[in-house]
Structure 1
Amino acid sequence: MKITGFRSLTTVHDWGRRTGDVNGVQSTDATVVPVLIIETDEGIEGVGLGAHPDVARVFAAVEGEDPRSVVALYDRMLAWVFKTGHSGAVFGTIGAIDMALWDIKAKAMGEPLWRALGGRERFVPGYASGLEYSLPDDELATLYGRFAERGFRGGKLKGGIDLDRDLPRLEIMRTALSRNSRHPAIMLDANESWNHAQAARYVCAVEQRLDLTWVEEPLRRWDAAGMAMLRGKVRAAIASGENLTGLEQYGPLLDANALDIVQVGTVWGITHFLRVATLAHSHDLPVSTVAYNGNPIAHAASAVPNFLTHEVQDLAFPVGLDIDQEFDDGGIVLGDRPGIGIVVDEERLASASAVPAAAASGPHVRPERAGLRMVAEPDVIEEPATAGGRRTP
């Protein structure tokens, strides 16, 4: 079997709500979902999800190769971009190709990827995470109520700017999830918006009212010393790692004992996740996946001994993607379809509504005052940015 080509496609995910965090909110209810199809000479095609802007350059590293040599091809892709480096968008491109190659390998075996990787259970425990920063309180309660109907016993709230706003919202989420547990897991995600003093003050204030399971990305992703010090000041576990692009970036954090929970971004691919999970396991730490459309890394999570929980951001899937999984009993139930279980309806993708270009501010852009706020500042979350103005960070 040989890799012969690729197709780069796009669809959308309609969330039915604005999504975002303290760094900003998306300008529409829908977001773009890039889809990569890797072709072979035997007709088996692999599906990878996530942005892949450098695919034309990186594809040369795998063209003509046997896709079943996926781990070796992953390292070949890293070597291919050696001089310019493999961080950022390049790493995302490698991740999308890697995901598609694992899909091909499992399809060639006639097995779902979770079984091909040695998983024993099709059930992957999860937690609810609605990216709900822009929602008013009543809609927040409705959203986490829907997650509770699927059995979820843990949830994560986006916050970190206004304690008076966050505390009641954390309690709303806890109340919604309490139907499934007397003590639901409650997490707070600051998305790197604090400095060290802000993080310590904020989390300690929250912990006077609530028992946080973890606080996520309290400081910049590389701040090993800061997160290590924060661990000694708060009760909540420290979780971070979703934006690290490469195994080597975890070393300083683990050496400094900065993390309680090692997180991995889904968009960086399956091989990366498996390697980070092994590295975390060598430090006796749990690993947790940060979600992306279709939850493809859930297959790999089922085969990892130190896997903790998988973020679930929505109970629906992008337009034109038929995904063989369900949400029940507070997690993801993987199906038996060979590969990662995604069937792409390319005609529906072609007719999917276009999504406007990303706004000048949003969760993808770090605000000017992030890490510099002394007190809560005005926070406009209802109106998207316009071409002639800017939103208050």
Structure 2
Amino acid sequence: MIGDSQVRADAAGIATIELIDERGETGLGFCQILFTAIPDEEELIRVFEEEAWPGLLGRTPASVALRVTRPRGGNARRMILPFEEAIQHAVWDLFAKQSGLPLWRMLGAERDRVGVYASGLDFHLSDHAFSELFGRAAERGFRGFKIKVGHPDVERDLHRLDLLAKTVGRSAPVMVDANEAWTAQETVAALRLFERAGHSIYWVEDPIPRDDFDGLRMLRSLGLTRVNSGEYLDLSGKRKLLEAKACDMLNVHGQVSDVMRAGWLAGEHNVEVTLGNSFLEIGVNMALALPGVRWLEYSFQNFDHLVEQPFEIADGTICAHHVPGHGLTLSAHAREHCRQPRLLAEAPPAVPVA
């Protein structure tokens, strides 16, 4: 079970997209549906053919990856199913393969590894499961740890920090993520409580609603910790966040093109970028390419069996693959054993937290 102060998910529906060029080269992307039941395979195909395929058929991967589209208008809307990120990953994968380069190198990176922190998605875990999760993470050499906070009783958040310190020690950076559960004043009170209890917080992530730029700017001015925000904002919102000088760190993840554009904007404002969750850590390619990125989030979501060779994590870093493309290929096991055209449609959907 994964979740935060706002949501909980007990099951994930995953669809894969493979785009194939005229030479038979394949680009791979994953579509993840957490909070509603995934449709039958037939419906997935119908929606893809109706909404996504007309914009891909006959085009080169480069022209799709690099195109600039109208940012607003009646025809600029989300697809019925969240194919956008999967398409971006598949298109960029294919683009890099056609160029004969690893995606991270094609995006301009020179290093091939970056620091990785352990993110528990742990809000609904028992204390025992919480300690086991982070204990295993410490044994694997993760260099930082992020826990979910934002409980109605802030003492419970403090208890979790005490438990984390008992489990992993106090030498590594500790981050907290409230998922917009607090007001600005509640954030100040919580951070001061944590500090009095001896906890040094490396960053507080999304403590208040995403568009409360005044509140975020106030928190930043107090200097209690770094303010990490932007996860829930689109590219336009991230630009406004940066212009408001309302974050110390800009959180990006997901679509390759938008991540690189957001990284450019952050560089213009001299703001550090952090890479949040991306499916099977595909985001390592962008993390390596953006200057100054020190962290990639890893959340133990147990999808490694879906690909032939997951990215290696060792000594607190994650290493990119030195093969053309983003580095992931669908496994023979997934093709043979994981296809469930209808079963997942009957799975109980995840529920929001009251």
Question: Normalising TM by the smaller chain, what interval?
Answer: 0.7 to 0.9
Aligned-residue offset at 1:91 = 10
Select which of 5, 8, 20 maps to 1:39. 20
**Which residue type is aligned with residue 60 of structure 1?**
P
The 3-state SS of whatever aligns with 2:278 is coil
Select which of 229, 234, 252 maps to 2:240. 252
Rounded to whole Å, the distance in 2 between the matches of 1:360 and 1:291 is 20
TM-score by length of 1: 0.78
Aligned-residue offset at 1:317 = 2.3
Aligned-residue offset at 1:112 = 2.1
Matched, 1:131 2:117: no
Q: Which runs of 5+ in 2 are unaligned?
A: 34-43
Residues 120-269 of structure 1: matches in 2 within 5 Å?
A: 120-161=110-151, 162-178=153-169, 183-209=171-197, 210-245=199-234, 247-266=235-254, 269=255
Name the one with the larger helix percent: 2
The residue number in structure 2 matching 1:290 is: 276
Query: Percent of aligned positions with the same letter in both sequences?
Result: 30
The 3-state SS of whatever aligns with 2:101 is coil
- For the structure 1 residues 254 and 80, does the alpha-carbon distance in structure 2 shift closer, same or farther, using more than 3 Å as the test? closer
The residue number in structure 1 matching 2:36 is: none
The 3-state SS of whatever aligns with 2:308 is strand
Matched, 1:317 2:308: no
The 3-state SS of whatever aligns with 1:50 is strand
1:320/1:348 contact within 8 Å kept: no
The residue number in structure 1 matching 2:59 is: 65
Aligned-residue offset at 1:90 = 7.2
Rounded to whole Å, the distance in 2 between the matches of 1:357 and 1:83 is 34
Can you list the C-alpha shifts for 1:293-343, whole angstroms capped at 9, x where unaligned?
A: 311111121111121211100174254322441111112122223211221
Aligned-residue offset at 1:291 = 0.8
The 3-state SS of whatever aligns with 2:289 is coil
Aligned-residue offset at 1:221 = 1.1
TM-score by length of 2: 0.86
Aligned-residue offset at 1:252 = 2.1
Aligned-residue offset at 1:196 = 2.3
Rounded to whole Å, the distance in 1 between the matches of 2:184 and 2:233 is 20
Select which of 19, 27, 34 maps to 2:2. 19
1:285/1:306 contact within 8 Å kept: no
Aligned-residue offset at 1:155 = 0.7
**Which residue type is aligned with residue 246 of structure 2?**
A
Residues 356-375 of structure 1: matches in 2 within 5 Å?
A: 356-362=347-353
Aligned-residue offset at 1:48 = 1.5
The 3-state SS of whatever aligns with 1:228 is helix
1:190/1:218 contact within 8 Å kept: yes
Rounded to whole Å, the distance in 1 between the matches of 2:64 and 2:264 is 18
2:277/2:296 contact within 8 Å kept: yes
Rounded to whole Å, the distance in 1 between the matches of 2:95 and 2:19 is 12
Can you list the C-alpha shifts for 1:201-239, whole angstroms capped at 9, x where unaligned?
A: 222222222111111111111111111112233511111
Rounded to whole Å, the distance in 2 between the matches of 1:308 and 1:92 is 28
Matched, 1:103 2:93: yes
1:241/1:264 contact within 8 Å kept: yes
CA RMSD of superposed structures (Å): 2.5
The residue number in structure 1 matching 2:107 is: 117
Rounded to whole Å, the distance in 1 between the matches of 2:351 and 2:163 is 31
1:125/1:308 contact within 8 Å kept: yes
1:319/1:348 contact within 8 Å kept: no
Greater displacement, 275-284 / 137-146: 137-146
Matched, 1:299 2:285: yes
Can you list the C-alpha shifts for 1:90-141, whole angstroms capped at 9, x where unaligned?
A: 7953332121111001222333212222222221211110101122222212
